[in-house]
Structure 1
Amino acid sequence: MTRASLHEALCRRSGRRRNGHWFGEVHWSSHDRKGRSVRIGKRNKITRRVALASAVGVFALTVSLAGGGVRAASTRLQAGVGVADITPDLGRNFDGYVRPDILANGVATRLWARTLVLTRGARKIALVSVDLVGALGDMHHALAGRVADLGLTENNILLLGSHTHSGPDMMINTTSTPTIEAGNPGANVKAFLVQQIALSVRRAYANLRPASIGWSSVSIPNASDNRSLEAHVANFGIDAPPHTKTPADDPKGPLDAIDPVLGLLRIDAVEGSHTVPMAAWFRFSAHDTAFPPANDLYTSDWSGLSEWRFEQDLAAQGHRGVVALFANGDETCGPQ
């Protein structure tokens, strides 16, 4: 799978390629259509998210290479990975920011469905990561119907969205405009998405082979923050105006308002007497909102960059074809 540098897509919008990838030098700032620098709040959100993506990718790689927790291979355990492109046609609204005045006008990075299938005897599970704001129940049901012949059902398919706000509108938000038919009249975007997601599952199932797995985690305390600290500390009886509190004001400590843990499931293929990296399923809690609400390009956002960084770093070490699958964690940490 060939992918251009996602840094350019995350950092600059001074050029556009309609149906491909972005190339070029990395610029650590965001720009609007007239080339003016765009800052969000008191800090550059794009820069922060690029740093987050790189940190998550690097830490995920570190955890995966640590070796601790990778269990001895079992001849009964098999694993397979599969990827499929889920980038829809242009002209659609986005899901997440809910801007009826903004339509997809180009592609910064392709959107992907990535699937990891694990089997042990008759027991099976499919872990599916998609570059969407979320996954609808009817999509989950339809996906299960498409892969039922593989022994997969709604009970053993975990379908998770990366929570990118730069994917197609699937009418998740009650205030979304009904643009399911936009862009290509008569084309249903959910049907297309389910078709492609099912393809990634089938590719993963077809690639099943003996494997070993392990789990580990690491804390990344400075990669995310809570954007609603005043609401969070209100749980402790502290009433404060907006934008007046810092993590230090949390009675339980500065990390109480976030989930800093990156957890990683490492999967190695067993080849004779040795193993080789196959995939990594990792989770971290942070909104996928590096691109601002005015964005008009499809993109997998910072989580896609973290997957790309992970895969590229392993490829540089001679492990080509490794698939990284991102799962978003608890983005609203604390009492609900």
Structure 2
Amino acid sequence: MQPHFNLSRRQFLSAVSMAMGSVILDHLSGDPAQAVELPGTEYLVGVGKSDIIDPAIGLGMQGMADKHQRTTGVESRLYAKAFIVVDPESAKRVAIASTDLWSGTHIVKHEVLQRLQKIYGPDLYQLDNLLISGTHTHSGPGGYSHYYLYNHSLGGPNQIGGFDRHNFECIVSGIVAAIQQAHDQLAPGKIYVNQGQIEDCGRQRSSVAYQQNPEAERKQYGRDTDNEMLLLKFVHVNGTTEIPIGLLNWYAIHPTDRGQYNTLVTGDNKGYAAEKFEAASREPIIAAFANANCGDVSGNVAYGSIPTGVNDRERMQKHGHQQYQQAQALFDQAIEPQGKRKKIMSLKG
């Protein structure tokens, strides 16, 4: 997204197109199949944050498909972090909600969209300019999908799983609240972009399978996981003063340091990184540590075992701290905004 960095196709598609569904490209720039031109250095930007947790005891946890894994308490809150960007020239906008969930399911997006359209009308927020993503934590309550298999792989009372309407409501209402906050906070601002690498923060869990890829393809990358973090820094502009308000980054790693023996609700390494960033900031900052192409990237491989419940918290803190450190450095060093009328990418290339 930034000509200064000369992003490769793999970097761009894995961190942005996959994570954001090409929403920003489509709605702020026109046809995503053509060379993209951004209309200016300033946008209207807004951020928001809301709790999405169901604190009830005994809920089936989503991700490990273990019917015996049920919530016994809350270690850290789960949140929805919302970011809205509006191009003042075209009036096109995009709303992004990064959530501390196993996944942003279709039924959640459908309900959030219905409620937003009741508030703002049918045209402002639609299916193709609203993105809801999950960090993929495996340590949160489940039962909020419209697919039978996902809901009934849960534990819960009597180990029967099923759709959990109360948890669904906590999630939906929280996401809507975060987006409303971002909408109400829209003001002139800028978006800065930066990227960097994190070493030894997640390894390939299926190295034998990866080696079956064509040699020519493997040589393109030089490693068997993607270790790059892409970060967007959002600021409000008041005259000559810039006020940081939020960040959204993508890094590929499974938030599964807290394995199937864990029964405490937590955002795992992504949630831990976000907590550290927000706590360390001098200004009120909303920080979202979203996931990228985490397919076979695991934080547990380096330890030679799956999480046992003994040292899982230490693993989570290690990988969360690594992501926090890189995000802080990228945030502090992000000083070049997206350029005015600059061609930045061609998805045909």
Which TM-score tier does this pair reach, normalised by the shorter chain? Answer: 0.5 to 0.7
Aligned residue in 1 for 2:149: 174
Contact 1:268 1:277 in 2 (8 A): yes
Which digits, 9 at most, give the CA deviation of each residue in 1:39-84, with x for residues without a partner? xxxxxxxxxxxxxxxxxxxxxxxxxxxxxxxx9853xx21111111
SS at match of 2:281: helix
Alignment CA distance shift 1:186-1:215 (3 Å) = closer
From 95, 98, 114, the equivalent of 1:126 is 95
Aligned residue in 1 for 2:263: 296
Alignment CA distance shift 1:281-1:295 (3 Å) = same
How far did residue 181 of structure 1 move? 8.5
From 69, 82, 90, the equivalent of 2:48 is 82
Aligned residue in 2 for 1:208: 186
Cα-Cα RMSD: 2.8
Alignment of 1:247-266 (within 5 A): 252=219, 255-266=222-233
1:195 equivalent to 2:173? Answer yes
How far did residue 234 of structure 1 move? 2.3
Contact 2:69 2:155 in 1 (8 A): no
Aligned residue in 1 for 2:115: 146
What residue ranges of structure 1 are gaps of 5+ in the alignment? 1-70, 238-249
Which digits, 9 at most, give the CA deviation of each residue in 1:262-320, with x for residues without a partner? 000111111221102111110000000110211111101110111122223322xxxx2
Amino acid at match of 2:246: A
Amino acid at match of 1:188: H
How far did residue 192 of structure 1 move? 2.6
Alignment CA distance shift 1:236-1:279 (3 Å) = same
Contact 2:67 2:156 in 1 (8 A): no
Distance in 2 separating the partners of 1:258 and 1:173: 32
Amino acid at match of 1:83: K
Distance in 1 separating the partners of 2:113 and 2:105: 13
Distance in 2 separating the partners of 1:230 and 1:137: 33
Distance in 2 separating the partners of 1:333 and 1:255: 16
Distance in 2 separating the partners of 1:180 and 1:190: 16
Distance in 2 separating the partners of 1:313 and 1:165: 26
Distance in 2 separating the partners of 1:186 and 1:256: 41
Aligned residue in 2 for 1:6: none
Distance in 2 separating the partners of 1:236 and 1:303: 32
Aligned residue in 2 for 1:164: 137
Distance in 1 separating the partners of 2:212 and 2:281: 44
Superposition TM-score, scaled by structure 2 size: 0.64
Alignment CA distance shift 1:196-1:179 (3 Å) = same
SS at match of 2:212: helix
Alignment CA distance shift 1:226-1:255 (3 Å) = farther
Q: Which structure carries more helix by proportion?
A: 2
Amino acid at match of 1:80: G
Alignment CA distance shift 1:306-1:126 (3 Å) = same
SS at match of 1:147: helix
Alignment CA distance shift 1:278-1:324 (3 Å) = same
Superposition TM-score, scaled by structure 1 size: 0.67
Q: What is the aligned-residue identity percentage? A: 24
Amino acid at match of 1:79: V
Amino acid at match of 2:115: R
What residue ranges of structure 2 are gaps of 5+ in the alignment? 1-38, 298-349
Distance in 1 separating the partners of 2:111 and 2:150: 24
Aligned residue in 2 for 1:10: none
How far did residue 127 of structure 1 move? 1.1
SS at match of 1:270: strand
Distance in 1 separating the partners of 2:87 and 2:155: 39
